């Protein structure tokens, strides 16, 4: 019995711990994000600090934005996209607002731009603004 208790304690002590990231200075996630976006992005942290909105603007074409959302606790990319003409920013703690300027006005987008939202928690795209709770 004593042998099993010692073995159990040894196994528990040898378990890897999940690394806490101190943002935005963690080299591991920065290297991954820079690789995915093709260069050093701007980091915008969600209000609760759980997510990073990382966006890189093409200097030769200012409307072209490569961006992704990184979930810090799970150390994973939850959303990635590219806009040819647009903007992306936090709408609230869990939702990013994506505005895309279109080349022409259409019946679906008479204003000449499209606005949609992405919920980083639910991992779901929405065409309408979320209601405030």
Q: For the residues of 74-127, what is the DSSP string, one character each?
A: TTEEEEEEEESSEEEEESSSSEEEEEEE-SS--SS-TTSEEEEEEETTTTEEES
- In the predicted structure, residue 4 carries a pLDDT above the cut 60: no
Q: Percent of the chain scored above 70 by pLDDT?
A: 73
Domains of the chain, by residue range, sit at 20-126
pLDDT in the model for residue 111: 73
**Taking all residues of the chain, what is their mean pLDDT, rounded to a whole number?**
80
**pLDDT average, residue stretch 48-70:** 92
Sign for the pseudo-dihedral over CA of 39, 44, 48, 51 = negative
pLDDT in the model for residue 59: 85
Tell me, rounded to whole angstroms, the distance of Cα 83 from its chain centroid: 15
- Distances 101 to 48, 54, 73 between C-alpha atoms, Å: 30, 20, 33
pLDDT single digits (tens) 120-129: 999 999 988 7
């Amino acid at each position: 019995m004593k042998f099993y208790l010692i073995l159990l304690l040894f196994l528990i002590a040898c378990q890897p711990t999940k690394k806490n990231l101190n943002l935005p200075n963690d080299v591991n996630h920065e290297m991954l994000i820079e690789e995915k976006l093709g260069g050093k992005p701007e980091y915008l942290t969600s209000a609760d600090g759980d997510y990073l909105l990382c966006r890189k603007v093409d200097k030769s074409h200012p409307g072209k934005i490569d961006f992704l959302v990184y979930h810090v606790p799970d150390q994973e990319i939850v959303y990635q996209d590219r806009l040819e003409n647009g903007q992306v920013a936090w709408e609230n703690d869990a939702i990013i607002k994506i505005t895309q300027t279109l080349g022409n006005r259409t019946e679906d987008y008479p204003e000449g731009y499209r606005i949609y939202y992405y919920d980083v928690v639910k991992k779901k795209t929405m065409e309408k603004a979320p209601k405030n709770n």
